[in-house]
Structure 1
Amino acid sequence: MTTIGFIGLGIMGGPMARHLVAAGHEVTGFNRSPEKTRPLVDAGGRAAGSVAEAVDGADVVALMLPDSPDVEAVLDGEDGVFATAKPGTLVIDFSTIRPDVARDLAERAAARGLRMIDAPVSGGQAGAENATLSIMVGGKADDVGAARPLLDAVGRTVVHVGPIGSGQTVKAANQLIVAGNIALLAEALVFLQAHGADLPAAVEVLGGGLAGSAVLTQKAQKMLDADYTPGFRIDLHHKDMGIVADAARAAGVVTPVGALVAQLVAATRAAGDGGSDHSALHRTIAGLSGEATGRP
C-alpha cells in the first residue's frame, strides 16, 4: 500500500484517484471545489482541506490540474508540495503542461530532495473512468519504475518515452492529432449531410476502413446527436494547442495544419463553447457551412 496525496479531483482526477483506492492504496484528495472530494470519500479515500494536508505523510503526490500556472502554484506556492512534502517523495504530474515548465519544476523538485515525473494522459473522461488511459511518461527510469504500479492502476497503455518533459512533448503531439481528427470528422459529417447520406450508416462503414479511429468511434455519435456534454473541454484543448504552437516554435518546426485547427478551436471557444466537449468543433464547422447550430 502506498500513501498518496492526490491534488485535482475533476473529470479526470476524480476517477483516477478512486481507481488508486480500489487498487489498495491510501488516498487523500484535495480539490479547490470541496464538493468534488465526496466521490473519493465514498470510495474509501479521505478529503483534505488544503494541499499541505493532502501531502502530509504521503509517499507519492499526484497532480491532475488544468494548466502550467496551476501546477506551479500547487507545487511551489506558499504551503505547496515543495514546501511540505517529505524528502524522497515522488511527484507524479498527470496534468498537461508545457514541456519546459515540466523540466523546470523537476529541477526545483530535485533541489528540495524530491523526485518528479511527468505523466500526462490521453483517453478523456471515459478512459479515466474505465482505467484505460494511455499514459506517456517522462523522467528517470528508477522514478518511472517506482511509479509503475500506480500508473498501471489508472491506465492501460503506459510507456516511458524519455527524460522529464518528454511525456508533455508526446502529449502535445497527441493533442495535435486529436484536434485534427475531430475537425476532419466534423467536416466529413457536414459534407455527408449536405449530400443527403445516411449518417449512421456512413459512420459505420467509415469506421471499418482506414478512416476508422478512436476519434470517430467516440465522437461521431456525439456530433450526430449534437451532444456536447464535456468529456474533454474546448477550453483545455485550446490551451493544449497553445502548448503545441509554443513548443513547435521553440524547436523551429512548422505545423501548418495544426495552426488552422488551432484557429477553429479558438473560434469555437470564442463562440461560447469553451465549456463544451471538443466535439463541439462540429458546431463551428457546421455554422461555417450555413447550418443552424443552436447558438444565439
Structure 2
Amino acid sequence: MSTIAFIGLGIMGAPMAGHLIDAGHDVVGHNRSRPAVDALVERGGRGADSTADAVRDADVVITMVPDGPDVEAVALGDDGIYSCAKPGTLHVDCSTIRPDVTRALAEAGAERGIRVVDAPVSGGEAGAKEGTLSIMVGGAEDDVAAARPYLEVVGGTVVHVGPAGAGQTVKAANQLIVAGNIQLLAEALVLLEAQGVDTAAATEVLGGGLAGSTVLQRKAAGMRAREFAPGFRIDLHHKDMGIVTAAAREAGVAIPLGAHVAQLVGALRAMGHGDLDHSALLLLVEQLSGRGERA
C-alpha cells in the first residue's frame, strides 16, 4: 500500500479519495476549505494544512482541482508539489485542463525528478461515487503503468491514449460530445412536452434504440423533473468548452456545432446559472421556445 497525497476534495475528489482509503492506501488530503479535509479524516484518511505537508512523504500525488491555473499553483509554487515532493514521486493530475498546460507541467516535473501523468476523468459525481469513472491517460508508458493500480481503484475504464497532454485532448473531445448530447436531449424533451407526449415513456424507448446514451440514462429523469442539483456545474463545462474551442483553433479543426453549443453554455452561465448542473441547458431551450418560466 502507498502513501497518497490527494489535493482537491470536491464533488469528484472526495469520493475518489475515499475509494483509495477503502483500498487500504494511506491517503493524506488537502483542500482549500477545511470541512472537506475533516470529512476525509472521518473516512479514515489523514489531513494536511498545506500542499507541502500533504506531499512531503507521498509516493503518489493526485490532484483534482478546477482549472489549469489551480494545477499550476499547487504544482509549481514555492511550497508546491514539484518543490516539496521527493524525487521519483508520481503526480497524477485528474483535473481537466488545457493540453498545452499539461505538457508544460510534464516538462517542469521532469526537471525536478517528478513523474507526471495526465488522467482526466469522465462520469460525473455518480461515476466518482460508484468508482466507475472513465479515465483517459497521457504520459510515458512506464509512468502510466505505475499510475494504473491507483486509477483502477476509482475508474472502470482506464486507457492509455498517448504521450503527455493526450489525456487532456481526449477529455476535451469527451466534453464536446457530452455538451452536444445534453443540448439535443434538452431540445428533444421540450419538443416532446410541447406535443403532449409522455416523456417518461418516450425516454424509455429512446434509450433502447440508437438514441440511447449514458447522458440520456443519467440526465433525462432530472431534466424532466427540472431538478438541476449539480453533478457537474455549468461553470465547469463552460471552462471545458473553452478548452475545446481553443484546442480546435490550435489544430485548425472546424467544430461548428460544438462552437454553437459552447455559446449556449456560456449564455446560460451569463444568466446566473453557473452553479446548476449542465443539464440545465433545458432552461435555455425553454426560454428560446417561449415555454416555462424565464431562465
Normalising by structure 2, report the TM-score.
0.99
Q: Secondary structure at the match of 1:227?
A: coil
- Number of the residue aligned with 1:41: 41
Alignment of 1:178-217 (within 5 A): 178-217=178-217
- Number of the residue aligned with 2:60: 60
Structure 2: which amino acid aligns with 1:55? Answer: V
RMSD: 0.7
Q: Aligned residue pairs: how many? A: 295
Whole-angstrom distance in 1 between the partners of 2:176 and 2:38 = 34
Q: Secondary structure at the match of 2:170?
A: helix
Alignment of 1:121-270 (within 5 A): 121-270=121-270
Kindly indicate whether residue 98 of structure 2 is the aligned counterpart of residue 94 of structure 1. Answer: no
Give per-residue Cα distances to partners, 1:24-56, cap 9 Å, x unaligned: 100000000111112211111011100001111
Q: Secondary structure at the match of 2:161?
A: strand
Percentage identity across paired residues of the two chains: 66
Comparing 209-218 with 33-42, which one deviates more in the overlay? 33-42
Whole-angstrom distance in 1 between the partners of 2:80 and 2:293 = 44
Structure 2 residues not aligned, in runs of 5+:
none
Q: Secondary structure at the match of 1:159?
A: strand
Structure 2: which amino acid aligns with 1:153? Answer: V
Kindly indicate whether residue 7 of structure 2 is the aligned counterpart of residue 7 of structure 1. Answer: yes
The CA deviation at 1:291 is 1.3
Structure 2: which amino acid aligns with 1:134? Answer: S
- Are the equivalent residues in 1 in contact too, given 2:55–2:85 (CA < 8 A)? yes
- Are the equivalent residues in 1 in contact too, given 2:115–2:143 (CA < 8 A)? yes
Q: Secondary structure at the match of 2:269?
A: helix
Structure 2: which amino acid aligns with 1:2? Answer: S
Whole-angstrom distance in 2 between the partners of 1:182 and 1:34 = 34
Whole-angstrom distance in 1 between the partners of 2:165 and 2:285 = 34
- Are the equivalent residues in 1 in contact too, given 2:287–2:294 (CA < 8 A)? no
Comparing 161-170 with 31-40, which one deviates more in the overlay? 31-40
Structure 1 residues not aligned, in runs of 5+:
none
Comparing 36-45 with 193-202, which one deviates more in the overlay? 36-45
Alignment of 1:265-280 (within 5 A): 265-280=265-280
Normalising by structure 1, report the TM-score.
0.99
- Number of the residue aligned with 1:291: 291
Give per-residue Cα distances to partners, 1:61-81, cap 9 Å, x unaligned: 000000000000110012011
Whole-angstrom distance in 2 between the partners of 1:121 and 1:282 = 24
- Number of the residue aligned with 1:69: 69
Give runs of ≥4 in structure 1 deviating > 3 Å. none
Q: Secondary structure at the match of 1:24?
A: coil
The CA deviation at 1:294 is 5.7
